[in-house]
Amino acid sequence: MHDFNNLLAVIIGMAGLVKMNLPENTANREYLTRIEEVGEQASHLAGQLLTFSKQTPREAHPVDLNAVILQTMKLAKSICSASIRLTQKLTDSLPAIHGEEGKLKQVILNLCLNARDAMKQVGGTLTIRTDLTPPSIVIGETTRWVHFAIEDTGHGMDETVRRRIFEPFFSTKEHGTGLGLAVVQRIIHDFGGRIDVQSQIGVGTRFDIWLAQADGR
């Protein structure tokens, strides 16, 4: 898989070099741009497959979740249209969590992409928040948790779809791979965390995630 990604990097890089020597608004330049886009999509898909197959090592260590969210939201803003408003409600002095920056960025970005697609037609608000609310299903356990949620005001899901969204290769999107949310769940579970989703048609969707505090084990 790593060799495959290396080949994709060469293809994307060569397309970019050739495109630099072509004038704007030409058909060949548009074709090269499409090659770059598809190459980047293939690289992202390869990364998801690698994560889902558990071939990537788990390298958990203390992580500042608020900092990771702020960094990732800068990228999320660049992929969301002007009709989607992004807001953050982050709790100050949040304890470090048990995780890994790259994987957590992947989780946050996948959920933001999911929210963006749910609001693509009419726009809306994407909100991400952090706090120390424990998951109700584990009250009484000794683990101390950090909670974050990603919420959108999109079209929402019915109960049948909601129950299946973490299934590998299940997708309601025309060109979806069905791996994005399966990968999200795998990463969260690999770090000993919990994930839940609530949704209502015409109201929106909310993903709640709990990760153990770095000093809480």
Considering only CA atoms, give the Rg of the chain. 19
**pLDDT at residue 180, rounded to an integer:** 79
Asked whether 35 and 15 are in contact (CB, 8 A), the reply is yes
**pLDDT at residue 209, rounded to an integer:** 96
Give the model confidence (pLDDT) of 149-186 as tens digits.
999 999 999 999 999 998 887 777 666 555 779 889 98
**pLDDT at residue 204, rounded to an integer:** 96
**pLDDT at residue 162, rounded to an integer:** 93
d(CA 102, CA 105): 5
**pLDDT at residue 6, rounded to an integer:** 62
Question: Taking residues 4-29, what's their average pLDDT?
Answer: 76
**Nearest CA to 147 among 76, 85, 215, 91?**
91
Please give the residue that has the higher pLDDT: either 96 or 44: 96
**pLDDT at residue 50, rounded to an integer:** 60
Pairing of strands 145-152, 204-212: antiparallel
**pLDDT at residue 43, rounded to an integer:** 66
d(CA 2, CA 90): 36
Mean pLDDT over each residue of the chain, to the nearest integer? 83
* Mean pLDDT comparison of 136-140, 142-146, 173-177, highest-scoring range: 142-146
User: Could you tell me the pTM of the whole model?
Assistant: 0.73
Secondary-structure class of domain 61-212 per CATH: alpha beta
Domain range annotation of the chain: 2-52, 61-212
Give the model confidence (pLDDT) of 39-82 as tens digits.
766 666 666 656 555 545 457 899 999 999 999 998 888 878 88
d(CA 151, CA 174): 23
pLDDT band at 142 (very low <50, low <70, confident <90, very high): confident
**pLDDT at residue 58, rounded to an integer:** 58
**pLDDT above 80 (res 187):** yes
Give the model confidence (pLDDT) of 110-120 as tens digits.
899 889 989 98
Which two three-digit tokens encode residue 8? 């994709």
